[in-house]
Amino acid sequence: MYAIIESGGRQFRAEEGHSFSVEKLPYEVGEQIELEKVLLLADGDAVQIGQPTVAGAKVKATVVEQYRGKKILVWKYKPKKRYRNRKGHRQYYTRLRIDEIVGV
């Protein structure tokens, strides 16, 4: 059984026991959360497609860690004007472990 969920404007495939990273969520490490934006629910040949979400379906997950991603450097440069600007950015992420997929 698997589900397609939406978090942070992106879609993820959630299977029990697997983990993945999403944009930062405001929860503590070890806290159990419920994701209710389930777009698709599949169990073998039975597939439920939401319009836009599957009513009553939830995915229960545990927050494993809060971390920051790799640094990305952004350069701005204008030739012949002595203008050079370098900025760095590190995105915050939350790693989730899927515990249970609750269907209808």
pLDDT band at 103 (very low <50, low <70, confident <90, very high): confident
| CB 98, CB 61: distance < 8 Å | yes
pLDDT in tens, 5-17: 999 999 999 999 9
Instruction: Detail the DSSP E strand segments found in 1-104.
Output: 2-7, 10-15, 19-23, 32-35, 38-43, 46-49, 58-68, 72-78, 83-89, 92-102
**Predicted structure pTM score:** 0.85
Q: Would you say residue 83 has pLDDT above 90?
A: yes
Residues 58-67: tens digit of each pLDDT = 999 999 999 9
End-to-end Cα separation, the chain, in angstroms: 13
Q: Tell me which residue has tokens 């389930």.
A: 38
Cα(80)–Cα(28) distance, integer angstroms = 50
